Amino acid sequence: MELSKYVGRTPRDYEGETTVERVASHRRWDVDVERRGDCSHCGAELELRERHLLVTLTGRSGNDGERHYLCGQSCLDEWFTG
């Protein structure tokens, strides 16, 4: 599925007013900064220098601009469907 198809959908743990604003295949290039994140679905630790998915949410209730890292598309799918 195209990443753009996830835009406008609501992750399963969120209210319906919170939707995906943007999904991007992402990697950080600032190699001198050691940055890690946790996958919002499976909790795996991600090395942000490696390719991963970055999801930005939009919503009215404090979720606006919230950023989530996900391992890849299978975790992204399960983040929506459970």
- Give the residue with the Cβ less far from Zn ion, 48 or 75: 75
Which residues of this chain interact with Zn ion, rule CB under 5 A? 39, 41-42, 44, 71, 75
Distance in Å, CB of 17 to Zn ion, minimum: 25
Ranges assigned E (strand) in the chain: 19-26, 36-38, 45-47, 52-58, 67-70
Coil, helix or strand for 26?
strand
- In DSSP terms, 64 is beta-bridged to none
In angstroms, give the least distance from the CB of 75 to Zn ion: 3
Supply the minimum distance, in Å, between the C-beta of residue 25 and Zn ion: 14
